[in-house]
Amino acid sequence: MKLVAGIDSSTQSCKVLVCDAETGDIIRSGSAVHPDGTEVDPEHWWVALKQAIEAAGGIDDVEAISVGGQQHGMVLLDADGEVVRPALLWNDTRSAQAAKDLTEELEYKNLRGEQAWLDAVGSVPVASYTVTKLRWMADHEPQNLARAVACCLPHDWLSQKLRGETDVSKITTDRSDASGTGYYSSTLGVYLPEILELATRGHSLLLPEVMEPLELRDKVAAGMGDNAAAAVGLGAEVGDVIVSVGTSGVVSAVSTEGVNVNPVISGFADGSGEYLPLACTLNGAMIFDRYAKLFGISLSELGSLALSAAPASDGLVTIPFFAGERTPNLPEATARIVGMTNENFTRENLARSAFEGLLCGLADAIDAVVDEAPNKVLLIGGASKNEALRQIAAQVFGCDVEVPEVGEYVALGAARQAAGALLGELPNWNRSIEQIIVADSKPEVRANYSKARDAYLKELI
């Protein structure tokens, strides 16, 4: 038996899966926590990884290993390979103004603003992207930026540590994670130095070499960003749409097309040589927490209450912009309940409207990511355990909803990539399906939501 290991180094924790390279069977596993915060000393990730490896029984018998990591984080290194300052993570929003400034400043092929960014790298920068953090450094910590000779991402840094390498010129990454920096073109397969120079106000930095998806160096594969790793772990194929409902909502689709003309989409690459256009909604399962707390019931009871109401909630609509919104881009928006009457203002309709509002927002994101209605949606994330979410998703999306068994898909995707690098091609690992909900389209749900949403958007303009 050939063994491989996959690592999920997320914002909250580190998980390690040791798997059979050919079958994907999980042989053993381990985990360790990361500290809270939006900036973290990368040494904490290394300590957690070593703890997780120890909990998993070690990796001495492992023939290949790969790291799936949180995207966008900025790790600056000096000439000796030492970390210059704590890494700024994807959820650090101090660079929000830098994102706006960079969006306005870029000129590329006679284009300006959002269109210049879409043409250059396939995404319009937001505060999470590495490029905006570099601009923040240039303006607020120029002394630290001046010390830096290299910039890499969290998964790049861990891969370097696993190899025991200290030479900053030998850091590697992969195209999926590089495509989230804001200065790498996944369609051209190259970094764009003019964008890096714009971000740093002229400071030069070494950037990681982009490895091939199934390349292996010193037992360590290229690794991936977390969303790409999850897609590989799920075995997602071209045309599949993945909807993840956690604290936020994430919609992604494996695609052969890398060109993106929609500013709400992140035009990422995937971990297998294709592309992974992605859209985020800021509002996810927290909506259910709010409604359940309001009613004084559990999340399971909220789901049962929702399923006891008819589709479209008798005209009651929740516009779920509790945290503002990113798809569409409305950071200052607030939530609304629309269409209340004496007859429809019931606990059942309110509960159902919470599920329908969240899923209609995700359906808008699906429309942005894919040109045609998908044949199926892979529904994952913590909220996917709720039966109401599953059933109502099939009605709102109008397609079959496949719910994979709950699993560590980022770590599993990393392990599968390691197996592919070891065996020469990605193995076909069986993925267990917990439930398939057959399409039961209820177009009136989205029609009611769209009418209420559009009226609200007119007020905001």
Question: Which amino acid is it at 106?
Answer: L
Q: What is the DSSP letter of 312?
A: G
First-to-last C-alpha distance (Å) of the chain: 61
Instruction: Give the distance between the most distant pair of CA atoms in the chain.
Output: 70
In angstroms, the CA 446 to CA 197 distance is 44
In angstroms, the CA 317 to CA 363 distance is 15
How far, in whole angstroms, is CA 50 from its chain's centroid?
25
> Of the candidates 179, 256, 232, 165, which has an alpha carbon nearest to the alpha carbon of residue 210?
179
Type and span of the H or E element at 258? none
Q: Which residue bears the tokens 């007119």?
A: 458
* Angle (CA) 384 386 392, round 5°: 85
Residues assigned a catalytic role: 226
> Of the candidates 77, 186, 172, 71, which has an alpha carbon nearest to the alpha carbon of residue 130?
71
Check if the beta carbon of residue 313 is closer than 8 Å to that of residue 354.
no
Q: Which residue bears the tokens 């290993």?
A: 65
In angstroms, the CA 451 to CA 183 distance is 38
Q: Which residue bears the tokens 């160096």?
A: 217
Check if the beta carbon of residue 390 is closer than 8 Å to that of residue 376.
no
In angstroms, the CA 402 to CA 5 distance is 27
Considering only CA atoms, give the Rg of the chain.
22
Helix axes 409-423, 226-234, angle to 10 degrees: 70
Question: Which amino acid is it at 65?
Answer: I
Check if the beta carbon of residue 400 is closer than 8 Å to that of residue 391.
no
In angstroms, the CA 169 to CA 342 distance is 68
**In Å, what is the CA distance from 47 to each residue of 20, 163, 233, 292, 425?**
25, 15, 25, 38, 32
